[in-house]
Structure 1
Amino acid sequence: MSALHHQPTTSDPAAVQSNLQNMFSSVKEGWLGKHHEEVSCCMDPELFITEEWDQREVTGSETETSKPVKVSDMFQHLSRRGNSCRTVVTKGSAGIGKSFLVQKFILDWAEKRACQEFHLVFPFDARQLCLWRGERFSLTELIHTCVPGMPSSGITEEMLNDIFTRETRNDKSEFKLLFIIDGLDQNLLKLDFISRTNTSDVIKSTRVEVLLTNLITKKLLPSACLWITTHSAEPNQIPPECVDMVTELRGFSDLQKEEYFRKRFSDELKASRLISHIKTSQRIHIMCYIPAFCWITAAVLEDALETKERGEFPSTLTEMYTEFLMVQINHTKKKYHPKKCIQAIKSLAKLAFHQLLKDNKVFTEEDLNSCGLNVRTASAYADWFTEIFKQFSGKRTDNYQKMVFCFSHFSIQKFLAAFHVITSLLSDNKNVMPVSWMTVDNWLLCFSRTSTTKVHKKALKTALKTPNGELDLFLRFIMGLSLQTNQLLLHDLLTPTRSTTRSNQKTIKYIKRKISGSKSPQQMIVMFHCLNELRDDSVVEEIQKSLRSGGLSADKLSPAQWSALIVILMSYEKHLDQFDLKKYSSSDEVLLQLLPVLKVSSKALLTGCKLSERSLEVLSLVLSSHSSSLKELDLSNSDLQDSGVKLLSVGLQSPNCKLETLK
């Protein structure tokens, strides 16, 4: 650890700032993990200011209405109410890089590359805060307990109490403070914004939840800035008046995807081969906008390069996670007994399932016990499967220690939960999906042979009723794991007693009936994803039919919903040979939204469509793009006007234009 500065005095903000920066720099190895460092190195992320809270699991799109803002400039912008920003919320889907972003921000501040207007920065990891749920702390005690390296920083609790007390009393702040709460969606912390239990006394001890609530509602240190990161769903119903700006993190651009894999692998040949494979699978390439998915993809494909032929690389979401699980098991088997490793995964899968249904991402000793585990066993599993399961421990100044656990990524918890559902069905003939009411039929199910279709129906109903789409990915994994190709990959873990092929076909018919009767675009999209995971080719026709009939109203779909449709459409490479707009709609709006699909198609039929100047201008940009695959364009029976022809000719004259036939 590098030497710290001399003991600063509270009258010297610069000296206190320097001490804290030195402390963060010296302990960065402790909180900046290997994967975090890889991602941070190639991310220069841009946030987008947005007023929308509700986004589903996977977006991968950029809305034109959002304004970009650099992380270092967040607090320099005016809020939606015209005043300076005090509280900024950054949302984003699981694994999109929110924690990486926080750690990069802290490192940039500590190493004096950005945001030097802040004298003191206090980052809290919500999982670490979960350790102390219900415990009483003063603000300074919480900082010294939860901020890594703080006790040895030379900045004592007395100094912080003095700074905070002076900040509370003075209108003009001598110190500019920033508190960061990373991952507030961790739902062990139940924040109560309705109760009047609050205090502005920074020295008084109170429960952790109350401290956080008072910080957010400005009852505590009202002049301090606050940065909160959370999953896309609104965290704990923070009152809108407490938030000055909502920003969104959208993950990697196509260039950053490549940069990640080149930094991840020092072998240029290996990196190039991986990137080449990822580009051949539209589905995998799109999903790699999520940094955590890049990490999983890298682990799987690196193993596949050594053990498989090129054509055997995984190409679907469920295949990728299945292969990732097997890579981890095979690595662990080299150190520990194979049967113990398999039992560990089955135990973790049971834990993942039961805690997912409770919407728990962080698990206490009580949670472990309810699933037949104890702290000692869970700690051992965390040591065995370091890429899957994590433990967090914390110690107070009186040496009182606590421990909580979580999966390394929420999508891994969802995958293992789905695995528990499928293995319970195939190995034990159990439908573990919960029954919300007891009828004679449900009672008889407990004693009769269940079926894959019944499990699918129950899982579908449960997921569709869940707010914010928290179980959408879980449902998709259940469908994907029902395919025998994926079950064969898990042969060490599964002992199927039946074929699921006929049941899968029944499920496909059931889902199509549900789609035709649904009035919810989001529910329809979830069901399209299910058909996709079941490898039903007709999902493309189902999407086209829904857009033509108005079942999916083009003008009412959100950017996230459009991008979800695009992910599905682009995962069926054989349907991309020819893009026929009339199969979707003749709408100008639909064409603009489906440009990513048009761009990767070799032939585009836009016959008899009323194209606006905006559409023709964008079409021209597609033709001039180096990544466009268009070789044939049919615009017959279209009234382009002279202005339209001029717009189109710009793209046709581009050296990047690959067009061979124009009608």
Structure 2
Amino acid sequence: MSHIKTARSLRIMCNIPIFCWISATVLQQILTQSDTEIPKTLTEMYCHFLITQTSIKNEKYGESYDRDPEKLLESNRTVLLKLAKLAFKQLMMWNVMFYEEDLRESGIDLTEASVYSGICTEIFREECVLYQRKVYSFVHLSFQEFLAALYVFHCYLIKNNKALEVFNPWFIRWTENVPLDKLLCVAVDKVLKSQNGHLDLFFRFLLGISLESGQKILQGLLIHTESSSESINRTVQHIKESMENEYLPNDRSVNLSLCLTEVKDQHLPRKIQEFLKS
């Protein structure tokens, strides 16, 4: 509890029961490990939750158990990236529930979906009085948003620009080497234009995964890591400029401030302190 209270981005999320469960699941594991840094941001918490659930899955089904997170993620990379692809594709269509054919389109075998029950839970919904169809969803929308952000960063690393073109405002094909800050900046603009803020949390996760600290946790799942500090700095500057727009709705401004918190920028806390002192 004392750790949660010191991390603003985590404390804000504690009004969501599922987040409390995720936090408890992660901290129960990490607090017994002297060599693992305790998560301080939302992205770090969800990264460790993914590792924890993958470890539980390996133990449950008698697969090779490895305490090394990098090797654990590497051995499960194929299926996890398929789930991430499903999460991204369905999020872009505003879908939180999907069917067997949606899983197959992302290359997911139905057996794989049931095995990863901690991540992708099978639920049933009666659609008419004559029959039932199997309906699938992730444990929570926030985790779908996390996996969707993971897929986008993965596509950036492997230069899969076709998947990234959804963020291109002019739908012009990008060159092969798209700078990370260009991707993140156009993502900011798309998030600001999204209805009902349905991409807010997705973008926070994308920023968090892009950080070198986020990439480090996900080693084994990502094909490689790269230096991103300059790109993050340019993106942060773009976010601050967007926040200065006097016509920006309050909820959009709040989300952008939380994005700054996710990349451990102290702009907002400093502004608050300056205001209080004045």
Please give the TM-score of this superposition, normalised by the length of structure 2. Answer: 0.85
Alignment of 1:347-496 (within 5 A): 347-373=82-108, 377=109, 379-393=110-124, 400-428=131-159, 430=161, 432-435=164-167, 438=170, 442-443=172-173, 445=174, 447-496=175-224
2:14 paired residue among 288, 291, 299: 288
Counterpart AA for 1:295: W
CA RMSD of aligned residues (A): 2.7
Change (3 A) 1:372 1:392: same
Amino acid at match of 1:316: T
Q: Residue type of the partner of 2:118? A: E
Match of 2:81 among 346, 352, 355: 346
Give the partner amino acid of 2:268.
Answer: V
For residues 411-457 of structure 1, what are the alpha-carbon distances to aligned partners after superposition, in whole Å with 9 as ceiling and x for unaligned? 00000000101111123453625056656xx23x1x42111111111
Distance 1:501 1:516, change over 3 A: same
CA drift at 1:299: 0.5
**Greater Rg by CA:** 1
8 Å Cα contact 2:9/2:262 also seen in 1: no
Q: Is the 8 A contact 2:43 2:205 kept in 1?
A: yes
**Structure 1 residue corresponding to 2:33, chosen from 307, 327, 330:** 307
Kindly indicate whether the alpha-carbon contact (under 8 Å) linking 1:484 and 1:500 is maintained by their aligned counterparts in 2: yes
1:519/1:341 Cα in 2 relative to 1: closer, same or farther (>3 Å)?
same
Aligned counterparts of 2:169 and 2:9: Cα–Cα separation in 1: 38
Take 1:522 and 1:276, find their aligned partners in 2: how far apart are those partners? 28
- 1:284 is displaced (CA, Å) by 2.6
| Higher helix proportion | 2
How far, CA to CA, are the matches of 2:246 and 2:128 in structure 1? 57
CA deviation after TM superposition for structure 1 residue 340, in Å: 5.9
Shift in CA distance, 463/435, structure 1 to aligned 2, threshold 3 Å: closer
Determine if the alignment matches structure 1 residue 525 to structure 2 residue 260.
no
Whole-Å separation in 1 of the counterparts to 2:246 and 2:79: 41
Amino acid of the residue matched to residue 147 of structure 2? L
Name the residue aligned to 1:330.
55
2:123 is paired with a residue whose SS is strand
Matches of 2:220 and 2:92 in 1, distance apart? 26
How far residue 277 of structure 1 moved from its aligned partner, in angstroms, is 3.0
Deviation per CA, 1:165-214, whole angstroms, max 9, x where unpaired? xxxxxxxxxxxxxxxxxxxxxxxxxxxxxxxxxxxxxxxxxxxxxxxxxx
Alpha-carbon spacing, 1:432–1:516, altered in 2? closer, same or farther (3 Å):
same
TM-score (norm. length: structure 1): 0.37
Partner of 1:307, secondary structure, is: coil
Structure 2 vs 1, CA of residues 395 and 523 (structure 1 numbering), >3 Å: closer, same or farther?
A: closer
Per-residue CA deviation, residues 470-503 of structure 1 (Å, 9 max, x unaligned), is 1110011111111111111111101235311111
- Is the 2:168–2:186 Cα contact (8 Å) retained in structure 1? no
Distance 1:355 1:519, change over 3 A: same
Aligned mates of 2:127, 2:225 — CA distance in 1? 51
Compute the displacement of 1:384 (Å): 2.2
Greater relative CO (CA pairs within 8 A, separation 6+): 2
Letter in 1 for 2:230: R
The separation in 1 between residues aligned to 2:85 and 2:128, in whole angstroms, is 35
Contact 2:212 2:225 (C-alpha < 8 Å) held by counterparts: no
Any conservation in 2 of the 1:427–1:494 contact (CA below 8 Å)?
no
Counterpart residue identity of residue 508, structure 1 = V
Q: Unaligned 5+ residue runs, structure 1?
A: 1-274, 545-578, 586-604, 607-663
What are the equivalent positions in structure 2 for 1:261-300 lying under 5 Å apart? 275-300=1-26
Answer yes or no: is the 8 Å Cα contact 1:453–1:506 preserved in 2.
yes
Q: Give the superposition deviation at 1:349.
A: 0.4
Cα distance change of structure 1 residues 463 and 407 upon mapping to structure 2, 3 Å threshold: same
One of 227, 242, 252 as aligned partner of 1:514: 242
How many angstroms does 1:279 deviate by? 3.4
Change (3 A) 1:513 1:394: closer
The answer on whether the counterparts of 1:433 and 1:455 sit within 8 Å (CA) in structure 2 is: no
2: CA distance, partners of 1:528 / 1:399: 49
Q: Secondary structure at the match of 1:390?
A: strand
Q: 1:584 and 1:329, CA in 2 relative to 1: closer, same or farther beyond 3 A?
A: same
Aligned residues: 266
1:12-27 matches, cutoff 5 A: none
Asked if 2 retains the 8 angstrom alpha-carbon contact of 1:429 and 1:449, the reply is no
For residues 355 and 395 of structure 1, what CA distance do their matches in structure 2 show?
Answer: 21
Unpaired segments ≥5 residues, structure 2: 65-71
Partner of 1:316: 41
CA distance in 2, matches of 1:365, 1:461: 33
Q: Identity over aligned residues, as a percent?
A: 33
- 1:539 aligned onto 2:271: no
Q: 1:297 to 1:398 in 2, by over 3 A?
A: closer
Shift, 1:291, TM fit: 1.1
Structure number having the greater strand percentage: 1
Q: Is the 8 A contact 1:332 1:341 kept in 2?
A: no
